[in-house]
Amino acid sequence: MLKLTKNRLAVFGMVVVASIGATLWLGSVTKSATSPQLVPIAGVSADTLAQAGITLQQPLGAVPAGAKDTAASAAQQFAGGAAIRDEQFAHCVAPGASIDEDCWAVSLDPSGFHANGPATIRQATYLVVLVDPTSGNALIGADGTP
């Protein structure tokens, strides 16, 4: 009777361990399935961009041929000639402006961009311009500091 109980306990223990393992594995699979893969861009972290309401995810479509330079020029013109730090083709999501499309994200030198608010003047540490790959027009510029 005692031996049987020990066996039952051993089986129960194995079941518990297996369940925990399966739960952890399923959790990791679920997380990787629901969290979009982000596209890094020089000059600003994904966390800072997310705080500003923008995420750059893996593009849904192919990179448009020959459009990179055009997008860079459009972003630079929009930003008043600021120097370019990086340019990535990504799926750009900015719910605040109803942007949810593949676009060019261009990171630029934020020197001179600053807050207009009531506190002491604060310089921007990032400047990103999103460019529509079809029209070649800037969708929005975002600058700031966390």
Q: State the residues that interact with another protein by CB under 8 A.
A: 51-53, 78-81, 95-97, 111-119, 121-124, 138, 140-146
CA distance 15 to 13: 5
Closer by beta carbon to another protein, 14 or else 97: 97
Q: How many residues does the chain have?
A: 146
**Please, what is the minimum distance in Å from the beta carbon of residue 126 to another protein?**
10
**Please, what is the minimum distance in Å from the beta carbon of residue 74 to another protein?**
12
**Please, what is the minimum distance in Å from the beta carbon of residue 120 to another protein?**
8
**Please, what is the minimum distance in Å from the beta carbon of residue 16 to another protein?**
42
Which run of H or E residues covers position 56? strand 55-57
CA distance 78 to 58: 24
Closer by beta carbon to another protein, 63 or else 115: 115
Closer by beta carbon to another protein, 51 or else 58: 51
Bin 80: left if φ > 0, else alpha if -120 < ψ < 50, else beta. Answer: left
What 8-state DSSP symbol labels residue 77? H
Closer by beta carbon to another protein, 64 or else 141: 141
What 8-state DSSP symbol labels residue 97? G
